[in-house]
Every structure is written in C-alpha cells, then in structure tokens.
Amino acid sequence: MAQGCVAVAGKHVRTFSALSRAWRACALLALLVLAVVPFAASGETVSEAEVTVTFARDIKPIFDKHCVDCHSGWFPKAGLRLDSLEGVREGGRSGPAIVPGSPEKGWIPHSLRLPEGRRGKMPPGEQRLSAEESRLISTWIRQGAR
Ligand code: HEC
C-alpha cells in the first residue's frame, strides 16, 4: 500500500494541494485497514474459545485407547502416567510431557511426530493416532491443557 501511495503522490507533485489530497486519501485508506483488521482477528479468537478442548472430555478417551496400557499403573513406561491430568502435567523420566500453551514443545508432541519405526515413536508399533486425535491434542495443549 505504501508503494501505491508513493506512486499516486508522484503523479501529482505539480501542485502542493494535489499532493496533500493524495496523501489524505492514503491516510484514510490506512485508517480503514487499521480499523477493520482487529475486528477480523478478534472474531477468530471468539469462535475458538467456544470449543475449549478439555482433558476429561476429549483427551482422556484418546489416551485410554492408545496409551494407558503402558503409561499407567505401578510402573508406567518411562515413569509417565497418562491416565490423569496430574500425571500428564508431572511428565516422565525425560522431563515435561507437555508445555501448556506451546503445542510444539514437550515429549508427547515429539513422540507423536516421530515417523513409524523410529525409537520413541508413540504409540509404538503400527498404531497411529488419527489426524483428528492429533489435532485435538495439539489444540488442547495450545489452549492451556486443562
Ligand atoms: C506398548 C506400550 C506403549 C504404549 C501403548 C505407549 N507407550 Fe509411550 N512409551 C513406552 C515405552 C517403552 C517408552 C520408553 C521408550 C524409550 O525409552 O525409548 C515410552 C515413552 C514415552 C514418552 C517419553 C517419556 C519420557 O519422559 O521419557 C512419551 C512422551 C510417551 N511414551 C507418550 C506416549 C503416548 C502419548 C502414547 C499414546 C499415544 C504412548 N506413549 C503409548 C511404551 C508405550
């Protein structure tokens, strides 16, 4: 837009008033853009807040299905319990399993991202989380993992 403004201004440099008219038009346009953009952005935030992903409702069923056979009980694998929110937040042998707010950090996202056959890929073997299950976990962590 700035380039457009310079181009417009350049064509009318002959008179001072034409120049100032061009700049006024550009300033008006800039104001319009500044006024509209925050509304568009806040609209998105509102619609996301409507679907808060929770451990109890959305995530526990996924972990129950794919993870708790090994990650619960007296001796959970790698010291990591995935049958309760407390367990997930405590993390395992290697450190934090999740970092609330940062879906790319922590060992759970890491282990889910690894390609099949790689050591540490979770769940081990041929089982895979569905795209929807992975998306839910990622959204859950981004929203603060509650
Ligand atoms: C068949 C048993 C089994 C299942 C099912 C399983 N895991 Fe694991 N998990 C392990 C073992 C064994 C390790 C230790 C791996 C190693 O040391 O290389 C481990 C390690 C991990 C770690 C690393 C923890 C740390 O602190 O070192 C994470 C994170 C993890 N699993 C997450 C998951 C998630 C999430 C699921 C379900 C999607 C899952 N696991 C399902 C057996 C399992």
Among the listed residues 50, 47, 62, 52, the one whose alpha carbon sits nearest the alpha carbon of residue 100: 52
Question: What is the chain's percent helix, strand, coil content, to nearest 5?
Answer: 60, 0, 40
Please write the tens of the pLDDT for every residue from 68-127.
Answer: 999 999 999 999 999 999 999 999 999 999 999 999 999 999 999 999 889 999 999 888
Q: How far is the CA of 109 from the centre of ligand 1 (A)?
A: 11
Tokens representing residue 117 in the block? 């056959």
Chain center to CA of 50: 15
Q: What DSSP character marks residue 58?
A: I
Q: Is the CB of 14 under 6 A from ligand 1?
A: no
pLDDT confidence tier of residue 31, bands split at 50, 70 and 90: very low
**Which residue, 78, 76, 82, 75, is CA-closest to 129?**
82
Question: Comparing 144 with 127, which gets the higher pLDDT?
Answer: 144
Residue 68 CA to residue 88 CA, distance in Å, equals 11
- pLDDT-derived band at 20 (thresholds 50, 70, 90) equals low
Q: Is 59 exposed, middle or buried (0-12, 13-18, 19+ CB in 10 A)?
A: buried
Domain ranges of the chain: 5-42, 55-142
Look at residue 9 in the predicted model and tell me its pLDDT: 46
The reply to whether ligand 1 has any atom less than 6 angstroms from the CB of 67 is yes
Tell me which residue has its CA closest to atom 11 in ligand 1. 77
The length of the chain in residues reads 146
Closest atom of ligand 1 to CA, residue 123: 41
- Please identify, by atom number, the ligand 1 atom nearest to the C-alpha of residue 94: 26
Better pLDDT: 19 or 101: 101
